[in-house]
């Protein structure tokens, strides 16, 4: 069973193009809608929501995108997880907050350097960094699903003592401008001692390249059985 965690804002809609691909491959799959805009919620509430969405499903493949990387390791203590897959994800240290992660990983410098090398603007905007490879009609629709992330989730520490003892795969989209692939490789190596697998697409690969991403996820799941 696939349980899919979205990034900042918490909209399950982010995964809506991947879900049918996973189901067509014979897998049960659910995307979690997180209370991102709720200022009274934080990572603990997010992890509870993930566990509730999984229900009694066994052999869970937990997939986390972007900021979902902070929720995923906490959710692993609340349910049985056979495999954890991080997709363009923030990788936290025990007790780290999402608010501190940016400076601790050197994200800003890495993003700026990638922009200069790639010839696109270093100044952040949604079109350049999130929607540059998303089909135009879908990019327009995404605005209706965009939600602000309340400060609570950025301020609550990732409540783990160590990384979960769960097989973990790290996936980077090769055209991600927000978390450049080379940056993701470095963070995965430094924090988890793991290599990174690449897939096509940008930061929102589940919207721009759902088939290829789903194929990678299915291959991981099938290999873990």
| H/E element, 84 | strand 81-87
3-class SS of residue 158: coil
Is the pLDDT score of 3 beyond 90? Answer: yes
* Cα 144 to Cα 105: distance, rounded to the nearest angstrom: 31
User: What is the pTM (predicted TM-score) of this model?
Assistant: 0.96
Is the pLDDT score of 46 beyond 90? Answer: yes
Q: How far is CA 62 from CA 86, 116, 127, in A?
A: 8, 34, 28
Is the pLDDT score of 57 beyond 90? Answer: no
Contact 42, 57 (CB under 8 A): no
Mean pLDDT of 104-115: 98
Is the pLDDT score of 219 beyond 90? Answer: yes
Note the pLDDT of residue 43.
96
Tell me: the pLDDT tens digits for 119-132? 999 999 999 999 99
Range of the structural domain that residue 86 is part of: 2-224
Number of structural domains in the chain: 1
Is the pLDDT score of 59 beyond 80? Answer: yes
Render 156-204 in DSSP notation, one character per residue.
S----SS--SS-EEEEEETT-SSS-HHHHHHHHHHHH----EEESS-TT
Mean pLDDT of 29-37: 92
Distance of CA 64 to the CA centre of its chain: 4
* Cα 73 to Cα 126: distance, rounded to the nearest angstrom: 28
**Gap between the terminal Cα atoms of the chain:** 11
CATH of the domain at 193: 3.40.50.1820
Tell me: the pLDDT tens digits for 136-181? 999 999 888 888 888 999 999 999 999 999 999 999 999 999 999 9
Is the pLDDT score of 225 beyond 70? Answer: no
* Cα 53 to Cα 33: distance, rounded to the nearest angstrom: 9
Note the pLDDT of residue 67.
97
Is the pLDDT score of 211 beyond 70? Answer: yes
Is the pLDDT score of 195 beyond 80? Answer: yes
């Amino acid at each position: 069973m696939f349980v899919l965690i979205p990034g900042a804002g918490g909209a399950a809609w982010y995964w809506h193009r991947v879900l049918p691909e996973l189901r067509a491959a014979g897998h049960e799959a659910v995307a979690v809608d997180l209370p991102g805009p709720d200022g009274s919620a934080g990572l603990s509430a997010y992890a509870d929501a993930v566990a509730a969405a999984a229900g009694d499903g066994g052999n869970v493949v937990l997939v986390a995108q972007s900021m979902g990387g902070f929720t995923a390791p906490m959710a692993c203590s609340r349910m049985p997880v056979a495999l954890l897959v991080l997709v363009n994800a923030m990788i936290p240290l025990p007790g780290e907050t999402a608010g501190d992660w940016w400076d601790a990983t050197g994200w800003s410098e890495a993003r700026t350097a990638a922009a200069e090398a790639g010839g696109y603007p270093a100044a952040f905007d949604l079109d350049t960094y999130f929607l540059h490879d998303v089909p135009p009609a879908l990019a327009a629709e995404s605005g209706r699903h965009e939600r602000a992330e309340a400060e609570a989730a950025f301020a609550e520490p990732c409540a783990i003592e160590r990384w979960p003892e769960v097989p973990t795969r790290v996936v980077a989209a090769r055209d991600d401008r927000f978390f450049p692939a080379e940056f993701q490789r470095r963070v995965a190596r430094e924090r988890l001692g793991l290599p990174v697998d690449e897939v096509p697409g940008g930061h929102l690969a589940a919207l721009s390249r759902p088939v290829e991403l789903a194929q990678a996820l299915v291959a991981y799941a099938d290999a873990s059985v």
